[in-house]
Each structure stands twice: as structure tokens, then as C-alpha cells.
Structure 1
């Protein structure tokens, strides 16, 4: 099952949700403004990243700009507290299962969540060798 962290006014979240529903991919959606993440959930996200905070923190967001902080210089506990207090620091959407993490709307990235039986009919066929 896919966990889908979303923001209510996020167009990319709506696109990803529509894509998942169209392809009948089961997911559990969570609005991170009305139901913010806790410490263990944030740690889990950070463990799943390949690029660390850069992958999940929206440095272009108004919240990040207003806070005027240097995420790279923060210790883990302060970073987690900051994300818990300001969930809009996170990029959206964030989708993950036990193996994959997808940040932002990207249909090619979302394909990794498709059940194997659905991948063949959805993904473009590769050209056969001649």
C-alpha cells in the first residue's frame, strides 16, 4: 500500500491522486497540514531519501524563505522539530511504499508503484531488436 502525503492546495498532489486512481493503484492519503507528521514518520522519510533533506524540503517555499534558516547546518532534532511545526516545508506530494519514494508529480516515477501485472499494459513497449 502506498502512503500519499499531500497538501490541500497542491496541484501536483491532485495530478498524482488522479493518476493513481486512473491506474487503480491503492493508496492512503494524508493531508499533512491537518494531520502533521510525527518524529518517527519524518525520520522514516529521511531514511528513504537518496539526497537527504534536498529531496524533501522545499527551499523555494514561502515558509522556508520566511524562516531564513540553513537546513544543512541544523542538527537532526532541530530539523525534525521545524518540519513538525511547519509542514509546508515539505515538498508535495510525497508518496512511498516499503521500497520506493517519489517526491513531486512525475508519471514515470509513479509507474514504479504499479503492480507488475499493470506495468506491461501501461508502460510503452520497447522496440524489438531487428
Structure 2
């Protein structure tokens, strides 16, 4: 099951939600504005990143300057605790699949969440239409 982590005021979150609806991709949504992420959810997200915390922390967040200097000295668990208490520090949307992760909305990259057999059928249709 795909999990979509969003925030109410985030335009990219709205775009991701709409794209998933339009493409009939089943997902579960968790809104950080009303329900903070858990330690286990953050660990799962981090396990799929390439660069760890760098990939999920929003340096554009208004709160970021207040924690930027402390962040390098914080332990992993302290950082998880901070992110659970202050989810506005997280980039969004965060889309998590079985072994896939997307941070932010990108219309090309989000296609990875369409089931493989559906993508294959669409590709075959394109090939049939392009036959010489």
C-alpha cells in the first residue's frame, strides 16, 4: 500500500493527492498538520532515502534556522523526536511505496507508483500506435 504524507497548506501535497486519484492509485494519506509522524514511519522513510536526513528535512521551513546549528550534534533518536514534534521541518509530500520513495511532487517520477502491469499495458499501447 502506498502511503502519502502531506500537510494542509502544501500545494505539492494537493497535486500529489490529485495525481494519485486521477490515476486510480490506491493510497493511504496521513496529514502531518493533524497527526505527527511516528518514529517507525520516519525510520521507514529514512531507510529508503539516498542521503538520509538531508533528503527529508526542509531547509526552507521557517523553523529550520532555529535548529540548523544544533542538528549536526543531535543523535539519531533526538532528531527523530524533533521531527515527530515539529513535522513542519519535513519536506512534503512524502510518498512511500513497498520499496519506493518520492520526496516532493514530480509528475514524471510519481509514475513509479502506478502498478507495473498497468505501466506495461500503457507502454504496449504506445508501441502499437507507433507501428510503422
Runs of 4+, deviation exceeding 4 Å? none
Q: What is the CA–CA distance in structure 2 between the aligned matches of 1:85 and 1:104, rounded to whole Å?
A: 21
* Counterpart-to-counterpart distance in 2, 1:51 and 1:92: 16
Counterpart in 2 of 1:56? 56
TM-score w.r.t. length of structure 1: 0.88
TM-score, structure 2 normalization: 0.86
> 5+ unaligned residues in a row in structure 1: which ranges?
none
How many residues align? The count is: 128
Partner of 1:78: 78
Q: Root-mean-square deviation (CA), in Å? A: 2.3
Per the TM alignment, residue 42 of structure 1 is displaced from its structure 2 partner at its CA by 1.3
Whole-angstrom CA distance in 1 between matches of 2:81 and 2:89: 11
**5+ residue gaps in structure 2?**
none
1:10-67 Cα offsets, whole Å, 9 max, x none, are 0000111111111111100010121101111111111111111111100121111233
Q: CA deviation at 1:89?
A: 0.5
